Amino acid sequence: MENPRYSIQGMTMAITNMEKMLSFYSNVFDIQFEEKEMYNSKLYTGIWGGLNLLFCPAEIAQNTATQNRHQFDIIVSDIQKTIYLAIQHGGETIGDIFEDASSLSIGIYDPDKNSITFKQLKE
| pLDDT tens column, 35-87 | 999 878 899 999 999 999 999 988 886 767 766 667 788 999 999 999 999 99
Strand ranges of the sheet holding 103-109, from the earlier edge strand across to the other edge: 71-75, 115-121, 103-109, 92-99
Residue ranges covered by each domain of the chain: 10-121
pTM for the model: 0.83
Question: pLDDT band at 2, cuts 50/70/90?
Answer: confident
Radius of gyration, alpha carbons of the chain: 16
Report the alpha-carbon distance of residue 72 to residue 96 in Å, rounded.
Answer: 18
Could you tell me the fold of the domain covering 10-121? 2,3-Dihydroxybiphenyl 1,2-Dioxygenase; domain 1 (3.10.180)
Bridge partners of 109?
92, 115
